[in-house]
Amino acid sequence: MIRFLLHACCAPCGIAVIDELKSQYDLTVFFYNNNIYPEEEYLKRKKYVVQICDEWLIPMIDFDYNQTDWREAVQGLENEPEGGARCSKCFRLRLETTARYAKENNFDIFCTTLTSGRNKKAEVINPIGVEVGLKYGVMFFETDWKKAGRQQKARKMVEERGIYRQNYCGCRFSHNNLII
């Protein structure tokens, strides 16, 4: 069976994607989101990804939470608007780390749940995934998880399980803005 590494940013973005992929692939979830601030928020988001993986017996890699790496990656872009250059760097760091881990651990394909977010543009995220996939020699699964009714499905699944839904993207600079 094809080994698939799925970077998951949070449970609301991941739940319908994981549900869809788990029967088609040998799926592993990769939690690497050192953009999230503060740490209590990071732990809260992680807790619900763990809950989903436990429910469906999906292996989950709990990768590191090195905020210094993230701050260095976005240095000089602190005042960028959400959706701008800082976000592209943030996507790249998380996708590149996922691609590298996939290569080092013999996965065939990797992907991210990031395109599930209603304000996350697949046309920005997917080319980064393809580029880092080529760099490490692992295929990036290009898609837009917002499509095909997955957002509605995810909303229902989140409500049924009482899963926490955050009201900001994740980093300290997005803390007071309501975009996901």
Contacts with ligand SF4 by CB under 6 A lie at: 35, 82, 86-87, 90, 169-171, 173-174
Smallest separation (angstroms) from ligand SF4 to the CB of 106 = 29
Question: With respect to ligand SF4, which residue has the nearer C-beta, 44 or 153?
Answer: 44
Question: With respect to ligand SF4, which residue has the nearer C-beta, 12 or 170?
Answer: 170
| Range 59-73 burial, b when 16+ CB lie within 10 A, else e | ebbebebebeebeeb
Question: With respect to ligand SF4, which residue has the nearer C-beta, 121 or 153?
Answer: 121
Smallest separation (angstroms) from ligand SF4 to the CB of 25 = 26
Question: With respect to ligand SF4, which residue has the nearer C-beta, 82 or 131?
Answer: 82
6 within 8 A of 136, measured Cβ to Cβ: no
Smallest separation (angstroms) from ligand SF4 to the CB of 90 = 3
The string of DSSP letters for 81-149 reads: PTTSHHHHHHHHHHHHHHHHHHHHTT-SEEEESGGGSTT--HHHHHHHHHHHHHHHT-EE----TTTTT
Smallest separation (angstroms) from ligand SF4 to the CB of 80 = 8
